[in-house]
Amino acid sequence: MRSFALRIHRFELDVLTPVYFPPLQAENVIRGAAGLLLPRVCAEAAAMLQPRWEGAPSGYATPPRPFAIRAYPLDGRRLLAGERFAFEVVQFALALPVGEAFAGMCELLEAEGIGPGRGRARLVTTEATEREWPLEVGEPVAGVVVDWLSPTDADTGSGFFARLHDRINALMSCYGGEPPLAPLSRAAVRVVRDETVVVERLRTSTRTGQSYGTGGRVGQVEYAGELTAAMPFLGAGEQTGLGGGWFKIAKVINW
């Protein structure tokens, strides 16, 4: 049985001086801090921030990053001294010291600060959880409702499942040494209801200073059809994210 393994790190910090996460920018703020601070605390920062895959199959010379930052609940929040906030880092390359590196980054935030105004925060607790998703087909599924929680740069049509499959496939092949997965069929899936809207956001690189759009869709989509084979990837994708955003399964409709 094929499965997809990952590690979820949770970091909790106490606010020392006001911290602000602009709307739709919390993950970008933390990603920017990682780009600046991880090289100061971890010798393997380059492998995390700019991964390379020697001898990679065609299309994977630049592999996906070995981690993803999940912090969308912080979007638009202004935190005062004494408040506490948390974010998660989902690790795919289990051999890299991702948890230790981000813990070191968080410790530097007490002096360096984070976000506009460089509000300072103190690391309080860290927690790591091992997770593994079996990629086997389960009970027959005729429909599913998906909540797109943060701006996701992806098509809401049946191509969503194929792209999600490709992401899981790339992560497993690159960081788990697994052989390629069989492709999914798109033909039997249709969109019943699409209540997503396009949200624009601007991201500024801390390394180059350049700004560029990283918007995407948020809202809810209902799918129907032969979804049984896609469900294991949908479940794993809740933890990997897709297209710079996050989603969750809101409802499953069985045959």
Span between the terminal Cα atoms of the chain, in Å: 24
Amino acid at 22: P
Domain housing 242: 136-254
* Rounded Cα gap, residues 211 and 194, in angstroms: 30
pLDDT at site 159: 87
How many domains does the chain divide into?
Answer: 2
Which pLDDT tens digits describe the chain residue by residue (255 residues)? 688 899 999 999 999 999 999 998 999 999 999 999 999 999 999 999 998 877 666 666 678 999 999 999 999 999 999 999 999 999 999 999 999 999 999 999 999 999 999 999 999 999 999 998 888 888 899 999 999 999 999 989 888 998 898 899 889 988 887 777 777 766 688 999 999 999 986 666 555 566 666 678 999 999 999 899 889 999 999 999 999 999 999 999 987
Q: Choose one of 83, 111, 132: the last residue of a domain.
A: 132
pTM above 0.75, yes or no: yes
3-class secondary-structure state, position 224: strand
- Using CA atoms, how far apart are residues 131 and 66, in angstroms rounded to an integer? 15
Do 68 and 187 share a domain, yes or no? no
Whether 7 contacts 129, CB under 8 Å? yes
13 and 128 together in one domain: yes
CATH of the domain at 226: 3.30.70.1900
- Convert 93-133 into a string of H (helix), E (strand) and C (coil): CCCCCHHHHHHHHHHHHHHHCECCCCECEEEEEEEEEEEEE
Give 69: exposed, middle or buried? Use CB within 10 Å, 0-12, 13-18, 19+.
Answer: buried
